[in-house]
Structure 1
Amino acid sequence: MKSIMKAVRPASLQFVSRTIATRSLPSIRSQLPLPRYNCLRPASSLSPAVLSVARRSTLGSNSRHYTTGHISGPGAPRPPKDNKLKAWPFILIFVTGAVAFAAVLENRKDKPKPMPPTDTSKSLPKLRDDGPVFSPDDVKVIFVLGGPGVGKGTQCANLVKDYHFVHLSAGDLLREERTRSGTEYGELIETYIKEGKIVPMEVTIVLLENAMKKSIEAGKHKFLIDGFPRQMDQALKFEEVVVPSQFTLFFDCDEETMTKRITERGKTSGRSDDNPESMLKRFRTFNETSMPVVNYFDGQKKVVKVDGAKSVDAVYADVKAHIADRLK
């Protein structure tokens, strides 16, 4: 009998284990106590198969529902992703754009707006191209150059009185033209003078030529042209179209002295260019455009240089001493 029972028990246990594992697993799971309640039945009362199934079920359930700590390893679940929209990148982009936009506006505000180019091609006179209108043997021309406020007009007045020159100031001719009623070039001249720029040479040369013709008709053939030429193209074109010059009388002076003289003159002159802003522009224009003219004629030995910073009488004494032989 004992031998029969020994033979039947293993088979019965295997059948019971398979049945429990395949058909009664949910009921076994429901009957198994959870570890946290500390009421497990003794392991010796269960078969190895039941214990194996129970352990797998319990561990799987615990890992899915009762895990509270961090689990690492290949099979560990991934932490949930933070799907909240981050705001700081958009704030950074907005602030950067605002700063860049403000910088552009500030740059445009500080930068002076360029003046639109003036189309003067239709209003400018056409200069002759068949040689000078006067002969240097009959008409004598002396260019008088120097910075603004150096005293060119005063010295020319003395030369007119003692040597019977006709004094033609390019600046005075331009100012008269712009104020004369019905003038053709007045508005153009006004714009250039206020900006401290050089008036187109076509206008200046025509005004000088017309004034010289009137004087020649009156029997006067010696001319002091004050404040002209202001740049190389004017010098070359005047000698090509009107008459070659005898020499250039250049008054040299520092800007500080000239500034004081212009400031004092501006109190009574009524000239629109006798102001600090125009003075700076005129100084810069003279150094950049008129000094090359002086250097050009100096290379031809046609420049008489006089210190213009002295008193009026001292300057005139130097002028007479330097040009006495040339005026014979």
Structure 2
Amino acid sequence: MGSVTDVAMEKGTLAQRKPTVVFVLGGPGSGKGTQCDKIVQHFGFTHISTGDLLRDEIRSGSENGTMIQRMMKEGKMVPPELTIKLLQKAMQECGNDKLLIDGFPRNEENRAAYEAVIKIEPKLVLFLDCSEEEMERRLLNRNQGREDDNIETIRKRFKVFKESTLPVIEYYNSKGKVRKIDAGKPSDEVFEDIKFFFTSTCGNIKHSCCVIL
């Protein structure tokens, strides 16, 4: 696995492009993937799922993939250097210069690594706020066959979100970048709120790249 420094040496083209970045954060089951799909359809985004990239790494049978699989089963965070490497590769390979990054940064380590390596401050942070009861119901009902969709792992993920991701949201809120959305409502109603915040803050964005973690 390459170091953050190694990744930084590869970032030239991304830095030159200076893409617009929007983060989407929320707990497991808050609807980040669903809402990103709606943004893709409504605003013409390109959609790249870094969550899928992690699962692809698992399926590759690599040493990193085995480590990722173990950590996901335990509800733990993937090491920031690996996450940044996969994320940056997806951002570089996307031909679009407006990026919607979903579920990242998940903790302060991710945020610090992102700022140190990629150095592109988000224009906006959408926070999908949803109760644990509703998120748990959604995760147990979605039947995607994912190993991390069992009750024990789900509750571990909730704990990690509260302890690790909420401080990131608070950090960006202190910079005036967070827009909090009630994600417990029906998805179409949630999207109406997202459209309002998205267009009022990023009204000039018409074609973008969505990166989901």
Q: TM-score range by the shorter chain?
A: 0.7 to 0.9
Q: Within the alignment, does 1:320 sit opposite 2:200 as a pair?
A: no
Q: How does 1:19-168 map to 2 (within 5 A)?
A: 124-128=1-5, 133=12, 134-135=14-15, 138-168=18-48
Q: Within the alignment, does 1:259 sit opposite 2:139 as a pair?
A: no
Judge conservation of contact 1:169–1:227 (CA < 8 Å) in 2: no
**Residue of structure 2 aligned with 1:222, choices 98, 121, 126:** 98
Judge conservation of contact 1:140–1:223 (CA < 8 Å) in 2: yes
Distance between the aligned counterparts of 1:325 and 1:193, measured in 2? 36
When the two structures are aligned, how many residues end up with a matched partner?
199
Q: 1:222 to 1:189 in 2, by over 3 A?
A: same
Distance between the aligned counterparts of 2:104 and 2:124, measured in 1? 12
**Residue of structure 2 aligned with 1:209, choices 88, 110, 114:** 88
* Cα offsets for 1:240-297 (capped at 9, x unmatched): 21132222111001000001100101x2x01000000001100000000000000000
- The runs of at least 4 aligned residues of structure 1 exceeding 6 Å deviation read none
Judge conservation of contact 2:24–2:101 (CA < 8 Å) in 1: yes
Q: 1:162 to 1:223 in 2, by over 3 A?
A: same
Distance between the aligned counterparts of 1:319 and 1:307, measured in 2? 10
Distance between the aligned counterparts of 1:320 and 1:136, measured in 2? 29
Gaps (5+ residues) in structure 1? 1-123
SS of 2:127 mapped into structure 1: strand
Whichever residue aligns with residue 125 of structure 1, its letter is G
SS of 1:223 mapped into structure 2: strand
Q: 1:161 to 1:326 in 2, by over 3 A?
A: same
Distance between the aligned counterparts of 1:178 and 1:283, measured in 2? 22
SS of 2:201 mapped into structure 1: coil
- The normalised TM-score by structure 2 is 0.87
Q: 2:126 — aligned with what?
A: 249
Q: Within the alignment, does 1:295 sit opposite 2:174 as a pair?
A: no
Judge conservation of contact 2:81–2:113 (CA < 8 Å) in 1: no
SS of 1:229 mapped into structure 2: coil
SS of 1:291 mapped into structure 2: helix
Q: Kindly, what percent of the aligned residue pairs are identical?
A: 41
Distance between the aligned counterparts of 2:98 and 2:82, measured in 1? 22
Judge conservation of contact 2:108–2:164 (CA < 8 Å) in 1: yes
Q: 1:33 — aligned with what?
A: none
* Cα offsets for 1:11-54 (capped at 9, x unmatched): xxxxxxxxxxxxxxxxxxxxxxxxxxxxxxxxxxxxxxxxxxxx
User: Could you say which structure has the higher strand fraction?
Assistant: 2
Which of the two has higher C-alpha Rg?
Answer: 1
Root-mean-square deviation (CA, aligned residues, Å) is: 1.9
Deviation at 1:136, TM superposition (A): 8.6
SS of 1:185 mapped into structure 2: helix
SS of 2:176 mapped into structure 1: coil
* Cα offsets for 1:161-196 (capped at 9, x unmatched): 122223333322211111125x35111101100000
Gaps (5+ residues) in structure 2? 205-213
* Cα offsets for 1:72-126 (capped at 9, x unmatched): xxxxxxxxxxxxxxxxxxxxxxxxxxxxxxxxxxxxxxxxxxxxxxxxxxxx321
